Amino acid sequence: MFRRLIPLVVGIVVVVGCKKKDNSSGDGGDPNATYTIKIREAQKGDKSMVVKTRSGSQTITVGGQTLTQKEQEHFAYTESILEIPADTLKPTKVTRAYTTAEKTDKGVLKPLSYANKTVTIEKKGATYSFTVDGKTLPLAELVEFRNEFEKVDKSKIADLFPKHPVKVGETWDIDLANISALIGSPQFTLDKEKSKVTGKFVRVFTKDGQQWGVIEIKVEIAIAPGANGASLTGTISSDITIETAIDGSVYGRTMRVTGNGNISNLDPRKGETKISIEGSQEQSVTPMK
């Protein structure tokens, strides 16, 4: 329920671990200089080390009873993009060689079936297959892969940044229409009057001869009752930091997310269910030669 209801807090992937030596340096240039943020997305032939961690908790109160659940997930893999159409952001064939794949099961962090194995992800017709040694992954493990590859996201990371040049320290409003770049397709109705997403260009620096930048995004989402009698309401707040190449030179980035929220669902028969959530995620994508 946690990820299904609140993809904002747990759905944004993040990176830790496998850190390389920091070869970055401050820009040290003109404080009035402007920069056009140009993001390079994944391309055929890219090979990257990806590390993701997620942790979160949810407290559910219903009928006078309260239950708290905690979750953790750790993933580390080498990703090789074999095929990706020019008109899409999602590869149609990719392999992931996992060294770590584990998540909480009944309160215990346990390895998944594809830990220390290579998963082949390939689009066949309108759907994707997810296999190890030609065998399909267990049904319970397919959900996350399907959410990543088969759901249609209307926006991309680049849509969160202004098209015009910006100075370090400059802020901007982000169109709510591009919210899917952060949370995927929302599974709730946004209160557009009360919701707000803003960006800030925090820092620019040089790393391995490339121009990198740090962007902060603050998300304040209000959930309104939806159609068909849906009665989900509440608020979600999230702070996101993206560190990435801003000159379009390389597909590499680190994203860090912290978030919390309070949600209520009123069922005429079962009464009110209150959900309090908090979580953090990190994901890093490091190019490999």
Task: For tokens 């140009």, name the residue.
Answer: 38
Q: Which of the pair, 85 or 89, is modelled with greater confidence?
A: 85
Q: Do 202 and 179 form a contact (C-beta atoms < 8 A)?
A: no
Burial class (CB in 10 A: 0-12, 13-18, 19+), 245: buried
**E runs forming strands in 170-231:** 171-173, 189-190, 196-207, 210-224
270 — pLDDT class (breaks 50, 70, 90):
confident
Over residues 181-214, the pLDDT tens digits come to: 676 666 678 888 999 999 999 999 999 899 999 9
pTM of the model: 0.83
The amino acid at residue 210 is Q
